[in-house]
Amino acid sequence: QYFLTLTTTTSYSPNSLQFQTHELSWSSPDQNSTTDYGGWAVIEPPIQYKKRSKTGLKFQFGSPLHALHGILTPTGTKDDQKETTGIAASDESDVVSGASPDGIINGAAKTVTSASMEKLERIIIPAAVDSTQQEALSTLKKLKIIEDDVKADELCTRREYARWLVQLNSALERNLKHRIFPAISLSGSTVAAFDDISVEDADFEPIQCLAEAGVIPSKLSNKNSSDNNSDNQGHIYFFPERFLSRQDLIHWKARLEYEFMPGIIEQISAKELGFLDWREISSDALAELFVDMSAGDKSIVRKVFGQSKRLQPNKPSTKAQAAVALTSGRMAEAIYTELARLEAENTARQAAMEEIRSELLDRGDIQRYWDEKLIEQKTFGFEVEKVYFSAVSGLEQEKIVQEKVFAEHLKEKAAMDCQKQLTLSLKEEVDEMSENLAFERTLYVTEQCNLQDMRSELQNKREGLLDTKSILEAEKEALRILRSWVEDEARKSQARAKVLEEVGRRWKWVNQA
């Protein structure tokens, strides 16, 4: 599939209505870019527009875009699709309908200065495949050169074309001057031709063979390549995943197809090349292209791209175009011979098979073989049937046993469920008892604490009583001592009283006397 760029320019002016212009062109990326698109630049006439009515604008497509309006398909997001100009519609379709002039004027009046906006949109054009391309692709698939799952409208990569080119050349080329021998080319190779193709790469062998044979510029070439595949550090890259350009398609094939005489470069002229864009062609491919164009109707370029004044060398090639290029030139006769040989071998094989079949039918070997085979299959069927019935009987017995086992399992399960219920009940009781014990333990701890407090208080009271007892005993002893002293004093007082009484009696006696 090819990619187009649709440029929509919308301009506004304070004193005029809104209007749009469109330009459709192929994208042309930088030659030094690392993208996988070897794009091309073809500037086509812009889309014309004219005012249709007061409520909208009408677009007209000028040649050559008029022939493409039926196959252009805009892609992108929903917002992008809303802003496309409806190229797939007919020339009479309205792309700006229902727009109010007052609204446009009011919207434009709000713009202080004129402004323009460009919107880039990608449009996919499916690659058309003709019968010649389909036939070439089918032929290479029959020869097992191209894989069966390859689609004709897909773009071809450099890796694929190199692989197919080497396979076809080494398999069908009979002229030793133009044939590539992979085993001989790779024997003794010590340097990889490209920095991005290692020995572990699946297509290292065909790419290295092309470089060893000098078909493609590489580190093994005697002169510097001018195809912008090298960088400032001297590295040379093959870029295997890039799409194959038209220039490389013809260049590689022509290097294997033609013999180049000295001084061919001096004979090249723009008139003899016949292309308007010959200046875009790489200098490495001019000689090959000139020799190919000199072949006239047998030219690879004419057969692949038809009669065209523009080669567009950087435009990517489809796999169908690569197939046509591979089957062009001397390969056409070699492929025809190979197909004829395969067809002859197939015909001979079919004839031999038919002869053997007729012979076997005449002798009755086939009927006898199939009768024996039928008897053998019937016997085998009876044995299988016996085994089947035996297996069915065994399965029935096994089913009865399993049902009994299942019933026992159900009983055991019911018993286990009862035990589980009992266990749950016991667990609930144990939990309740545990809670009660925990509560009683709490009460016991509380009472024990209270008893400890009471014991402490009683101990303090006992100690106080003992102190009081000691004091009372001391007081009692003091009282006893005091009592004995008082008794002694009393006795002394009595004795004294008696003495005094005797003295008083004596005094009385004396006085009386």
Choosing from 320, 337, 354, the residue where a domain stops is: 337
Provide the pLDDT confidence category of residue 92 given band limits of 50, 70 and 90.
very low
Which residues, at least 6 apart from 9, have a Cβ–Cβ distance to it below 8 Å? 20, 21, 22, 23, 116, 117, 118
pLDDT of residue 182: 76
> Does a structural domain hold residue 498?
no
Q: Which tokens in the block code for residue 173?
A: 């080329």
The DSSP string of 65-78 is: GGGTTTT-EE-S-H
**Is 204 in the same domain as 218?**
yes
Pairwise CA distance, residues 320 & 303, whole Å? 12
**Is 306 in the same domain as 209?**
yes
Which residues, at least 6 apart from 26, have a Cβ–Cβ distance to it below 8 Å? 2, 3, 4, 5, 39, 40, 41, 42, 315
Q: Which tokens in the block code for residue 425?
A: 């009940």
pLDDT of residue 296: 74
Read off the pLDDT of each residue in 472-476 and give the average, rounded to a whole number. Answer: 92
Pairwise CA distance, residues 90 & 72, whole Å? 12
Point out which residues pair with 224 in neighbouring strands: none
**Is 45 in the same domain as 146?**
no
> Does a structural domain hold residue 7?
yes
**Is 98 in the same domain as 164?**
no
> Does a structural domain hold residue 261?
yes
> Does a structural domain hold residue 158?
yes
**Is 171 in the same domain as 138?**
yes
Provide the pLDDT confidence category of residue 274 given band limits of 50, 70 and 90.
low
Distances (CA, A) of 230 to 109, 218, 219, 227, 422: 54, 9, 10, 8, 88
**Is 186 in the same domain as 94?**
no
> Does a structural domain hold residue 480?
no
Q: How many domains is the chain built from?
A: 2
Range of lowest pLDDT (82-91, 200-209, 489-498): 82-91
Provide the pLDDT confidence category of residue 466 given band limits of 50, 70 and 90.
very high
Q: Is 423 exposed, middle or buried (0-12, 13-18, 19+ CB in 10 A)?
A: exposed
Find the radius of gyration of the CA atoms of the chain: 59
Provide the pLDDT confidence category of residue 44 given band limits of 50, 70 and 90.
very low
Provide the pLDDT confidence category of residue 380 given band limits of 50, 70 and 90.
very high
Q: Is 429 exposed, middle or buried (0-12, 13-18, 19+ CB in 10 A)?
A: exposed
**Is 267 in the same domain as 147?**
yes
Statement: residue 98 has pLDDT above 90: no
pLDDT of residue 299: 81
Provide the pLDDT confidence category of residue 161 given band limits of 50, 70 and 90.
very high
**Is 259 in the same domain as 218?**
yes
User: Do 116 and 8 touch, CB atoms closer than 8 A?
Assistant: no
> Does a structural domain hold residue 385?
no
> Does a structural domain hold residue 418?
no
**Is 101 in the same domain as 151?**
no
* % of the chain beyond a pLDDT of 70: 67
**Is 288 in the same domain as 176?**
yes
**Is 76 in the same domain as 172?**
no
pLDDT of residue 229: 64
**Is 298 in the same domain as 207?**
yes
Alpha carbons within 13 A on the beta-carbon side of 357: 6
Which residues, at least 6 apart from 397, have a Cβ–Cβ distance to it below 8 Å? none
Choosing from 296, 314, 337, the residue where a domain stops is: 337
> Does a structural domain hold residue 28?
yes
Q: Which residue range is the domain that position 32 belongs to?
A: 2-125
Statement: residue 257 has pLDDT above 70: yes
Pairwise CA distance, residues 132 & 321, whole Å? 9
Choosing from 319, 337, 355, the residue where a domain stops is: 337
Burial letters 87-105, b for 16+ CB under 10 A, else e: beeeeeebbbeebeeeebe
Quote the mean pLDDT of the chain: 74
